[in-house]
Chains A and B, each alone.
Chain A
Amino acid sequence: MAISIAAEWEVLNNRYYRKQEIYTMCWNSVDLSRHKVACSKFGGPVAMVRDESKMVQLKAESARAKLLLFTSSGKLLSSVPWDRPGGRLIALGWTDEEVLLAVVHDGTIFQYNIHGELIPEQLSLGQECWNQGVAECIIWGSGLVVLTEQNQLFSIPNLETQTVVKLADPLLEDPPHCMAVVEPQYTLSGNLEVLLAVGSSVLMVDAENVRNQMVDFGPIQKMTLSSNGNLLACFTHDGRLLVVYPDFSKSLLEHLTESALPPEQLVWCGVDSVLLYWEEELVMVGPYGDAVRWAYDEPIVLIPECDGVRILSNTFMEFLRRVPDSTVSIFKIGSTSPAAMLFDALEQFDKRSAKADENIRLISDKLPDAVGDCIDAAGHEFDISLQRTLLRAAAYGRAFCRKFDRDQFQDMCRTLRVLNAVRQFEIGIPLSIQQFKDLTAPVLIARLVNAHRHLLALRISEYLDLSKEVVLVHWACTKIIASSDVPDSVLLELLLEKLKACPGISYATVAADAHRNGRQKLAALLLDYEPRASEQVPLLTSMGEGERALVKAIESGDTNLVYFSILHLWRQRPLPEFFRIVQAKTLARNLFIAYARQNDPEILKKFFISIGQIQSAAEVFLKESWSFSRSIGNRSGSALQGPRLKTIDQAADLYAQTKEHMFERAAAEEQGKLLKLQQEFEISTGQLIFVDSSVSDTIRTLITLGNHRAAQRVKVDFKVPDKRFYWLKVFALATAKQWEALEKFSKEKKPPIGYKPFVEACIEEEENAEALKYIAKLTDPQERAEAYARIGMEKEATEAAAQAKDSELLGRLKITFGQNTAAGALFDTLRDRLSLT
């Protein structure tokens, strides 16, 4: 068995290559040579459209061109008429998302999904391109470049953003011999670069510049970049194959072929050898310039992959690749590597031969490596029985290892199960393990889902412990589209049954899809199952259910969502209706008010009046009146206070409309009255110190200025109680140090608040002598005691307290004095002592 495996290998210098048949194509009578063919990388689908430049045999084919889509195993996915306008089909190609791009002569790009359905979104390369007509086009996984018939280059470097970029004008009269693309991810600048073979040299063109690379070995007839972007293969007019760095700085290989005609296809196999295909002959040139050839009696298409090349012919899908080291070490003829010994040991063991044990002993210390190699080799294998044998060998060897990482073995089994499942004929995705690792499991799942292989995708997700959400959501959306005649309630049940298997799944996404497909009711029903308000609310809003969105937002308690709904409703609905909606919900109302207060006081007034909350509208007016005040730099003159007074009046009028707000109304009126009065004072005194001060402050200011009559007027006008007036006057006089006036005032009549204010005012101004005059007049001995205490007259204080027979007070005084003296002194001494640090 081992011998037969290595017998198929080809040797190029020290490297082994292996070409294996993976599928016998199950399509019938497809002739690749008559079609434009596009094969998606990573074992993806094959698309073809009849090539109009070839002759058509009327008998054999229908006259109408068709777009045919197959799996890599040749299973028909879809067949649709090819009848796109825009002229000749220039190029077909797949994106990384498995969208088929078809570029036609006028620069229009049609997009198809894997089911042959035209994606409504149409791309175009623009007017200029339309005028010039497309001559050639290169499509890669995430972008494309076209060359027009007037030798201009246009590109869409990133299909996600879809912006068309016109590259610098290479100023060519004749079309280039050939062109190649350096994808943005492989360039230093991060921008797309296009290589054009012109004359004997090569031009490098990007968005801004054209640079001649000063190549001397041209003219180049064909160029291809390796899949990692590191190397460029060129075929020259004199039949040489050269491998150079993409910047042409160094040539690594030169190989003279037997043909001066350029090959039909020039493709990299992995990263170290190059394939050239002429009709009926395929040549592989290895890294050291040696070559192998194969004859093909039918047309083939070479599909480069990261680790090899797939070869599609009318009857087979083959995979050509370098043989992995682990496989070489096991199956190379005459190999005595530990892995080979281990593999042999298993065979001996199966034969019940004692040689098995001998083998194991021979490799004892290298056993873990041998096991690792067997596992690795199993991974590279397409043949399931061979995978099994290799894994059994690994398992056998592992039993003799003291320590071996279990996970490695288990991971490989898991990966192989997935790979074998997708490689099955019906699915037709011939991924190698390396391709699978590059592609990653989530992308594979997305591709399966895209191909409507939901069940398999779900199984794989479960098996690999990945989120099932992607699969289930896609399934549900597909189901909705496919079930246009199923009643909402039945469909809902169907969907829920599956979706509930995945807690936390986004019902909103499914609902959004139902909505897009015209199933409003179903969308609404589904949305009720969505626990995330942040998903629910925007969708409901876009479905035109703004009010329900608002309710859901309020339920969530997330004010940001409530604002989202409010702002939408505000934009969409007539103002009265908007007010009605907002008014009905407390949180919405509060938030709207808070927002409008800061942004739009006018609308707030309208709102309050329309909902009959007059007093709040009045408050807005009142607040506005203050905005006139300090914003005005020079506030003199009555003219400037005019608008202010007017808004105050408006507020007062509004307050007057309800009975409950008498207090506010009176206050607003007084506010106006005060402002007028203060203006008068400012004019009469010529001092701008009244406006914006309070009633009490005004009185104090007037008294300090000695204008007692005006002060009296304010007292009367504003019905200031005697008590307050006394406090104000006493303090004002004391501040102005008018001690005589103060004394006179104290004797005017018996003060309604006693002599306490006089005492306090004097003490505050630190006029203890004045204070004493009034302390004596204090009737309450307790107050007297405290007053004496405040000016530090300990003895008098104690006497008064004794007179008051207030033992509590006495005690307190003792403490107070104690703290003032003893404790204070103690702190001082403490401080002194500590200053030794």
Chain B
Amino acid sequence: MAQLPNLDNAPINISSLREQAQRDLGEALDSMRGRKVLVLDPFLSGPLALIAQTSFLKEHGVEQLYHVSADPVQSECKNVLYLVRPRIPLMRQIAAHIQQDNRQQLQKSYSVFFMPRRTIVCEKVLEEEGVIGNVTIRECPLYFIPFDEDVLSLELERSFKETKVEGDTSSLWYIARAIYRLQELYGVIPNVKGKGKAASQVSDILVRMQREQPPPLPSSVKPPEIDTLLLIDRQVDMVTPMCSQLTYEGVIDEFININNGAVELEPSIMGAQPNAQASTRKVKVPLNSSDKLFRELRDLNFAVVGQVLRQKAVSIKQDYSDVTSAENQSISDVKDFVKKLNVLPEITRHVNIAQHLSKFTTKQTFLSRLSMEQTLVEGENYDASFTYVEEMIHKQEQIESVLRLLILLSVTNNGLPKKHFDYLRRELLHSYGFEHMFTLSNLETAGLLIKQETKSNWQAVKKGLKLIPEENDDINPNDISYVFSGYAPLSIRLVQSALRGDWRQSEIIRLLPGSAFERYEKNQEVNTIRRETTSPTESGPGTDARRLIVLVIFIGGVTFAEISALRFLESQEDMKYDFMVATTKLINGTTLVKSLIDDPSAS
């Protein structure tokens, strides 16, 4: 298994977060004595791999590892520990396992750990299935999972759909809880800002939690490490995730899907000899800042990546010839060179990946799609966009990629005119099947594909927030628009505006759905006491040089391109802030759309 991401360079000490998670996990495993089988929710194995390695499980007595499925757990082991999200279908499968064991009169003990917490509904299902007496029910309160030194995720893949389609706000409570727990580690965050309905809901729940269970007394808490919490509801900006990401990391994600901080690639792509007897098993490549070269490349526009890699390779080549040609090289020169050689495997790796990606990015279809996305975001040529989408449907192109553009079309126009709305929906049903009735209904409920009732204010938003800057330079960017080669992500413009502090008054921001709010933690006494109790050296002029930390939470998901844009802002000279990004799920347009596609025959 891959190494855990290195978190040493994080702006705040998130290693302690991972340690806490490890502790929670360890306690859960140890609660069942002796050897045991661990049966995991399939959705959890990825995130857990970011918390602990396989050896960790072994140390805690796990002998075998399974995924929860309809198939029974084939094991002699008497102790069975389930670690699951509180989802009803899983409960039925667990119940079926236990019922089968009971029929075979196998005496086993079962523990079910819910992550992050048990729910009444799941317990009710276990009760109805008649197995609640057989299981010990516990909780494993694991919320944020560190993906990288500046990225945390709850990995709730159903969060957006639940909140915006089903109106089930459970995940908002989880976010609030996650923030609450962060605050236990890093202190109460004094400034809270947010935009969008889900953002204000989360903020309300958080305020309530703090009132219900006041944070610990000032004596036991350090001054807050995070200065500002910025909550952004994904629904405020549905344009950005629908656009194709053009940063290196974004392009990787668009074409080969980054899952839990890693991609899986065919060995041939990674330069394995085709004739070698290497297994056809995919190669897992972790993508996080532990890889120094990736750290350098990930946020660049993909167009630049080839160039940078070439320079690196050329410089090594140059050094190589220097070392081999000149005889009077000092040992230290050779040593420097050898040190440089260490990055060689990394360069090879990324050359391979980049070359693989360029197969997609140079395709005519991709380029014309990009230009259509640009047209849609500019929102000035409705007819061309409509025809383009219509043709995609007629050609039965992949439904996710059709829906991405259709959503862009609907969102930028505040819906489609009734005639087009019905026409395109019918064409969709005819082309992809009537089961997509439910998909359409989901999209409509979420406000992503609707009938036009009023005029769109997209043009005003676009101009007001300079979403399409006049000049864009992908190579030497001076604005975040480089991450989409000409479109500055709306969500990140919101972040900029919030940090400038003018956003509650802004007319433009008011045009976007949901309220923009701002509050200062009323725990003033606590804050002042803290300041008094800290020694004068700490609050001296030295601390002013430290940059303030802003925790930006995207409720409903965030794309890699957006994270890159934030990192770009962070790297600007006049920036006073360091960013931490947290979200319910790392997404791209396709995965987000997929979560909204309803397959009625699946359940």
B263 adjacent to chain A (CB < 8 Å): no
Interface centre among A664, A667, A786, A831 (most CB of B within 10 A): A667
A670 adjacent to chain B (CB < 8 Å): yes
Q: Is the CB of B306 within 8 A of A724?
A: no
With contact pairs A557-B176, A816-B364 given, residues A693 and B433 touching in the complex (Cβ less than 8 Å): yes
Which residues on B sit within 8 Å (CB–CB) of A786?
364
With contact pairs A599-B125, A696-B396 given, residues A789 and B364 touching in the complex (Cβ less than 8 Å): yes
8 Å CB contact of A827 from B317, B351, B364: B351
Which residues on B sit within 8 Å (CB–CB) of A760?
395
Q: Is the CB of A819 within 8 A of B358?
A: yes
Which residues on B sit within 8 Å (CB–CB) of A564?
120
Give bound CA distance, A590 to B168, whole Å. Answer: 6
B282 adjacent to chain A (CB < 8 Å): no
Q: A593-613: which have CB < 8 Å to B?
A: 593-595, 598-599
- B338-361 interface code vs A (CB 8 A; 1 in, 0 out): 000100110110011011001000
- B387-412 interface code vs A (CB 8 A; 1 in, 0 out): 00011011110000000000000000
Which residues on A sit within 8 Å (CB–CB) of B201?
557
Give bound CA distance, A629 to B601, whole Å. Answer: 7
Q: Is the CB of B441 within 8 A of A619?
A: yes
A663 adjacent to chain B (CB < 8 Å): yes
Within the complex, what minimum Cβ distance (angstroms) separates B311 from chain A?
A: 11
Give bound CA distance, A827 to B168, whole Å. Answer: 50
Q: Is the CB of B121 within 8 A of A563?
A: yes
Give bound CA distance, A721 to B393, whole Å. Answer: 12
Q: B416-467: which have CB < 8 Å to A?
A: 422, 425-427, 429-435, 437-438, 441
Which residues on A sit within 8 Å (CB–CB) of B89?
598
B547 adjacent to chain A (CB < 8 Å): no
Q: A729-783: which have CB < 8 Å to B?
A: 731, 753, 757, 760
Give bound CA distance, A558 to B206, whole Å. Answer: 11
B96 adjacent to chain A (CB < 8 Å): no
Give bound CA distance, A408 to B555, whole Å. Answer: 53
8 Å CB contact of A533 from B176, B212, B429: B212
Which residues on A sit within 8 Å (CB–CB) of B441?
619
Q: Is the CB of B212 within 8 A of A731?
A: no
Give bound CA distance, A627 to B89, whole Å. Answer: 16
Q: Is the CB of A531 within 8 A of B212?
A: yes
A723 adjacent to chain B (CB < 8 Å): yes
8 Å CB contact of A557 from B167, B204, B348, B433: B204
With contact pairs A531-B211, A590-B167, A667-B429 given, residues A727 and B120 touching in the complex (Cβ less than 8 Å): no
With contact pairs A504-B214, A599-B88, A834-B313 given, residues A558 and B434 touching in the complex (Cβ less than 8 Å): no
8 Å CB contact of B358 from A695, A724, A728, A823: A823
Q: B281-332: which have CB < 8 Å to A?
A: 306, 309-310, 313, 317
Q: Is the CB of A833 within 8 A of B313?
A: yes
Within the complex, what minimum Cβ distance (angstroms) separates A698 from chain B?
A: 9
Which residues on B sit within 8 Å (CB–CB) of A622?
437-438, 600
Which residues on B sit within 8 Å (CB–CB) of A835?
271
8 Å CB contact of A623 from B309, B354, B396, B600: B600
Which residues on A sit within 8 Å (CB–CB) of B309?
830
Within the complex, what minimum Cβ distance (angstroms) separates A528 from chain B?
A: 14
The secondary-structure label for the interface of chain B is: helix
A586 adjacent to chain B (CB < 8 Å): yes
Q: Is the CB of B348 within 8 A of A731?
A: no
B8 adjacent to chain A (CB < 8 Å): no
Q: Is the CB of B173 within 8 A of A831?
A: no
Q: Is the CB of A694 within 8 A of B351?
A: no
A386 adjacent to chain B (CB < 8 Å): no
Q: Is the CB of A557 within 8 A of B430?
A: no
Closest to B177 in A: A558
Within the complex, what minimum Cβ distance (angstroms) separates A828 from chain B?
A: 8
Give bound CA distance, A315 to B434, whole Å. Answer: 95
Closest to A714 in B: B430
Q: Is the CB of B364 within 8 A of A694?
A: no
Q: Is the CB of B600 within 8 A of A626?
A: yes
Which residues on B sit within 8 Å (CB–CB) of A631?
601
Which residues on B sit within 8 Å (CB–CB) of A591?
167-168
Which residues on A sit within 8 Å (CB–CB) of B108?
none
A720 adjacent to chain B (CB < 8 Å): yes
Q: Is the CB of B431 within 8 A of A695?
A: yes
8 Å CB contact of B213 from A532, A694, A827: A532
- B158-169 interface code vs A (CB 8 A; 1 in, 0 out): 000010001111
With contact pairs A595-B121, A816-B364, A819-B358 given, residues A663 and B425 touching in the complex (Cβ less than 8 Å): yes
Range, interface on chain A: 35 or more
Which residues on A sit within 8 Å (CB–CB) of B166?
590, 593-594
Q: Is the CB of B434 within 8 A of A667?
A: yes
Q: Is the CB of B313 within 8 A of A830?
A: yes
A503 adjacent to chain B (CB < 8 Å): yes
Interface size of B in residues (CB-CB distance below 8 Å) = 67
Closest to A819 in B: B362
Give bound CA distance, A557 to B214, whole Å. Answer: 17
A812 adjacent to chain B (CB < 8 Å): yes
- A457-484 interface code vs B (CB 8 A; 1 in, 0 out): 0000000000000000000000000000
B48 adjacent to chain A (CB < 8 Å): no
Which residues on B sit within 8 Å (CB–CB) of A721?
427
Which residues on A sit within 8 Å (CB–CB) of B433?
692-694, 697
Closest to A536 in B: B212
Q: Is the CB of A567 within 8 A of B394?
A: no
Give bound CA distance, A560 to B345, whole Å. Answer: 50
- A555-573 interface code vs B (CB 8 A; 1 in, 0 out): 1111110011001000000
A491 adjacent to chain B (CB < 8 Å): no
Within the complex, what minimum Cβ distance (angstroms) separates B569 from chain A?
A: 29
Give bound CA distance, A668 to B438, whole Å. Answer: 12
A707 adjacent to chain B (CB < 8 Å): no
8 Å CB contact of A694 from B88, B205, B395, B430: B430
Q: A779-837: which have CB < 8 Å to B?
A: 786, 789-790, 812, 816, 819-820, 823-824, 826-827, 830-831, 833-835, 837
Closest to A558 in B: B173
Q: Is the CB of A718 within 8 A of B430?
A: yes
Give bound CA distance, A667 to B431, whole Å. Answer: 13
With contact pairs A591-B168, A837-B345 given, residues A727 and B395 touching in the complex (Cβ less than 8 Å): yes
Q: Is the CB of B169 within 8 A of A559?
A: yes
B117 adjacent to chain A (CB < 8 Å): yes
Q: Is the CB of A560 within 8 A of B119?
A: yes
B112 adjacent to chain A (CB < 8 Å): no
8 Å CB contact of A667 from B125, B162, B167, B426: B426
Closest to B362 in A: A819
With contact pairs A622-B437, A696-B431 given, residues A727 and B394 touching in the complex (Cβ less than 8 Å): yes
Q: Is the CB of B601 within 8 A of A627?
A: yes
Give bound CA distance, A830 to B344, whole Å. Answer: 12
Give bound CA distance, A695 to B173, whole Å. Answer: 43
Give bound CA distance, A664 to B121, whole Å. Answer: 32
Q: Is the CB of A731 within 8 A of B600?
A: no
B170 adjacent to chain A (CB < 8 Å): yes
Q: Is the CB of B434 within 8 A of A731?
A: no
Which residues on B sit within 8 Å (CB–CB) of A694?
429-434
Closest to A789 in B: B364
A674 adjacent to chain B (CB < 8 Å): yes
- B578-601 interface code vs A (CB 8 A; 1 in, 0 out): 000000000000000000000011
Give bound CA distance, A790 to B441, whole Å. Answer: 38
Q: Is the CB of A816 within 8 A of B362?
A: yes
Q: Is the CB of B213 within 8 A of A830?
A: no
B77 adjacent to chain A (CB < 8 Å): no
Interface centre among A557, A589, A695 (most CB of B within 10 A): A557
Q: Is the CB of B358 within 8 A of A831?
A: no
A-B contact pairs, 16 of them (CB 8 A): A556-B205, A557-B169, A560-B121, A564-B120, A599-B125, A622-B600, A663-B426, A670-B429, A694-B433, A695-B430, A786-B364, A790-B364, A823-B358, A831-B355, A834-B347, A837-B341
Besides A563-B119, A631-B601, 9 other A-B contacts (C-beta < 8 A) = A533-B208, A557-B204, A560-B121, A560-B173, A564-B120, A591-B168, A619-B437, A718-B430, A724-B427
Q: Which 4 A-B pairs have the closest CB atoms?
A: A590-B167, A626-B600, A557-B205, A695-B430
